[in-house]
Amino acid sequence: MFETKQSVLKERDRKEVLISIENHERGIEQLIIKEFYNFLQEKKNAVKTEKK
């Protein structure tokens, strides 16, 4: 099947959008992990303070 230039560009754009969405999701996951880690560190520090 012969692909037109237009369909090739549409497919490339679609792939770029999917990659962009994946990167955005990965960024959100990293942010959640970072926030959770900070939360755990604060809890750990609070427990250390209470034990003193």
Give percent of the chain above pLDDT 70.
Answer: 94
How does pLDDT run across 36-51, given as a tens digit for each residue? 999 999 999 998 888 7
What pLDDT, on a 0 to 100 scale, did the predictor assign at position 2?
Answer: 66
The CA distance from 49 to 44, in Å, is: 9
Band of pLDDT at residue 11, cut at 50, 70 and 90:
very high
Between the alpha carbon of residue 47 and those of residues 29, 34, 41, 42, 44, the distances in Å are 27, 20, 10, 9, 5
Is 70 exceeded by the pLDDT of residue 1? no
